[in-house]
Amino acid sequence: MAAREELTGTPAAFAARLARLNGPDRVGGVDLARGLAVIGMFAAHLLVTAEQWVWTDPATWSAIVDGRSSILFATLAGVSIGLVTGGPRPLPGPALNRARGRLAARAGLLWMLGILLILTGVPVYVILPAYGILFLLALPFLRLGAGVLLALAAALALIMPLLQPMLADLPLWQAQYGAELSDLLGWHYPFPAWMAFLLAGLGVARAGVTARAVQLRMLIAGAALATLGYGLALVPPDPSSEYLQRVWQAEPHSTGLLEVIGSGGFAIAVIGGCLLLCRNRMLRMIVLPLRATGAMPLTAYTVQLVVWAAIAVAVAGDAGDLQAFRDLEPFWPLTVWTIAGCTVWALLIGRGPLEWLVDRAARLAVRSHRLDG
């Protein structure tokens, strides 16, 4: 790691790290959106939030993090995959094959890390196994253009929630080891429906996510979808049909049709808004701590759960006692220390440690010469 980036505290080194965060290899608005997603997941884990978000009632605004933070993460995964595989134009053949291999290696590493985090006993649904599966499922779609990708995302968003009640009722979930299988697949974030979010993110990356016009369209279209989804939730389904009640939902983690539309639109609007905000140099610097956190989301997410497990075991003797840990009021200390730690690391050292490790392992697993011929 020292050979990759000299660990010095000189003004020149500090300036180089700052230039990295603001340079062409990073899209500041995407980092900002990831930072918001990280803090949103902290809040969803550690705070007692309102049961339902009503945008006209500030007392319920804490509920905005429930479900939407993880969907924002999934959508950003698609954006990131799109950016590293060529942005508006997919990489040419050998380079794209190499990128596919490295994404597959990353998927395996994310899945394994997720299983290790589950084994800590922290009482959250760890998103990383689902994240790894989504990375793998994205591989066949990398050559497609924006229009096709967005059309596929829309089709999945409309069709998969209709099938989700049947998938959720499969006997295998109630069979022996059904709960363990659910954890292995990250089924709290069911990938058949969540591919809609990843493909939407990949689609906007192919559309040219750094262009102002695309960013404005994301903000407008995302806000319209969110309004449609959450607005339709006010219309009750046929109460005599249990199936319709399960489909016609906007509740967090329901995978209902209205959640997929509303929260998917919310994620696209947030990303578009963050991209537009970061076009302003002053605002981009003001939100630098959040951007630094978003530049190392895997490290921030993992460290949060590991620290949670260690403190919970030390204080309560049980990493799985959620209420005992929440009674310690850990949200603000963990959040402040995470943001501060990520900012200091980014400015003094550079890339997040887990981000560097996963990238390094993927590059070692898939070397250039193996796929260039």
Please give the pLDDT value at position 9: 57
Could you give the dihedral angle defined by the CA atoms of residues 190, 191, 194 and 200, in that order, rounded to the nearest 10 degrees? 180
Rg (CA), the chain: 20
Provide the token pair at 226: 């969110």
Contacts with 37 (C-beta within 8 Å, 6 or more apart), sequence order: 69, 70, 72, 73, 76, 294, 297
Please give the pLDDT value at position 368: 62
Each domain of the chain, given as residue ranges in start order, spans 11-371
pLDDT, one tens digit per residue, over 257-303 is 999 999 999 999 999 999 999 999 999 999 999 999 999 999 999 99
Please give the pLDDT value at position 142: 97
Contacts with 98 (C-beta within 8 Å, 6 or more apart), sequence order: 366, 368, 370, 371, 372
Please give the pLDDT value at position 78: 97
The model's pTM is: 0.92
* Residue whose tokens read 């009750």: 236
Please give the pLDDT value at position 53: 76
pLDDT, one tens digit per residue, over 72-131 is 999 999 999 999 999 999 999 899 999 999 999 999 999 999 999 999 999 999 999 999
Low-confidence ranges of the chain (pLDDT < 70): 1-10, 368-373
207 near 214, Cβ under 8 Å? yes
